[in-house]
Amino acid sequence: MDLELKGKITLITGGSKGIGLACAQKFLAEGARVVICSRSAENINAALAGLPGATGFAADLTDAAAAADLVALVEAQIGPIDILVNSAGAAKRAPVDELSPAAYHAAMDAKYFSYIHVIDPMIKLMAARGAGVIVNVIGNGGKIPNAVHIAGGAANAALMLATAGLGHAYAARGVRVVGINPTGVETGRIAEGLAASAKAAGVSLEQARADALASIPIGRMAQPDEVADLVIYLASARASYLSGVNYTLDGAQSPVVV
């Protein structure tokens, strides 16, 4: 199946590790021109060693000015961005008794604003050109509450609303906005979540992992490649009628009708 991604300039935030890196590899395989972003220049350089033809820039996306500068830099040096994939940032998980107003602010900065700071300048440029796709990798914590992910889940819920609202508002101007809500993906971040769950439940890390796997009907966690497969489909011409929606990817863990 031709996804019509050849030559498409694709900016992937959080593209040096985990889901973002898997997305970069998939887009390159489809012939896209890939640009990755991370806060760490060291991580970018390590990732680019396995991403022939890709480019990378370091930026702290919790800073609105830095995010706007990143978009401007990519547009000036690489060309008009066709696709934006947001996969940067994750809120720290913690038992509810350890939450504070500062923790909620930190969660919004880490997850919500690190996306919005890039989306805002990007979607306006895309709308002016009459074309573009934004795919937000969010997380099912915004839909299904988790006792150790309340602050981060609230940030995810805000992103889900922004995704739906912006998808609706910009549809007539040629820009699609979609979201993906994965749960339990085998990346470096899963260890932090399991540690928080183990602490809250008073069990070992091994038991917390066993409990997490037992809650997934498919019987395993997702691989980053599986999330990336959905990302590239949603970003492609094959999904041209999809916008303003958030897709759950959780191995049938939370079967709901919406």
Contact residues for 97 (Cβ-Cβ < 8 A; gap 6+): none
pLDDT digits (tens, 9 = 90+) for 187-203: 777 767 677 677 777 88
Rounded to a whole number of angstroms, the CA Rg of the chain reads 18
Domains of the chain, first to last: 9-183+224-248 (3.40.50.720)
Give the pLDDT of residue 257. Answer: 65
| 148 DSSP assignment | T
pLDDT digits (tens, 9 = 90+) for 85-104: 999 877 788 888 889 999 99
Nearest one of 157, 134, 104, 144 to 234, comparing CA atoms: 134
Q: Give the pLDDT confidence score for residue 36 in this predicted structure.
A: 98
| C-alpha dihedral sign at 234, 230, 191, 255 | positive
Q: Which of 124-138, 176-190, 201-215 has the highest mean pLDDT?
A: 124-138
- Highest-confidence segment of 12-26, 187-201, 209-223: 12-26
Q: What is the pTM of this model?
A: 0.92
What does the pLDDT read at residue 114?
97
